[in-house]
Amino acid sequence: MITIVFKVLLDLLFYYRWIVILAALFSMLASFGVLDTRNRMVWTVGDVLYRLTEPALRPIRSVLPMFGNLDFSPLVLILIISALQEFLPRIYAAIVYGNMQGLLL
């Protein structure tokens, strides 16, 4: 049971990382005028990506200083997701196998 939980968490983190990357690319393409956000389909995709990523990006944006028009919050979120993806297998090993040394490294 616990194996399934950790596998699902790792898969969700993997897919969420790609959603963050797609949202950042969408935002960049929309700001440069490559994507026409007046198109209903483009707007819908942008809205879905915004609603999926904004709850995680908002707290990061409130902590990061402003760098003009550059938004580094997706990069910080991707780094946090990567750290979680590295740390979750260690937590799993500590719970299932009793390997506490993996948590210390």
User: In the chain, where are the structural domains located?
Assistant: 2-104
Q: Is the pLDDT of residue 66 over 90?
A: no
Residue whose token pair is 């750290």: 83
pLDDT value, residue 99: 73
Q: What is the mean pLDDT of the chain?
A: 91
CA angle, 29 then 33 then 37, to 5°: 85
State mean pLDDT over 33-50.
95
At 68, phi and psi to the nearest 5?
70, -125
State mean pLDDT over 87-102.
83
**Banded model confidence at residue 74, pLDDT cuts 50, 70, 90:** very high
Q: Both tokens of residue 16?
A: 């969420």
Beta-bridge partners for 67: 70
pLDDT value, residue 8: 96
Work out the percent of the chain whose per-residue pLDDT is above 70: 96
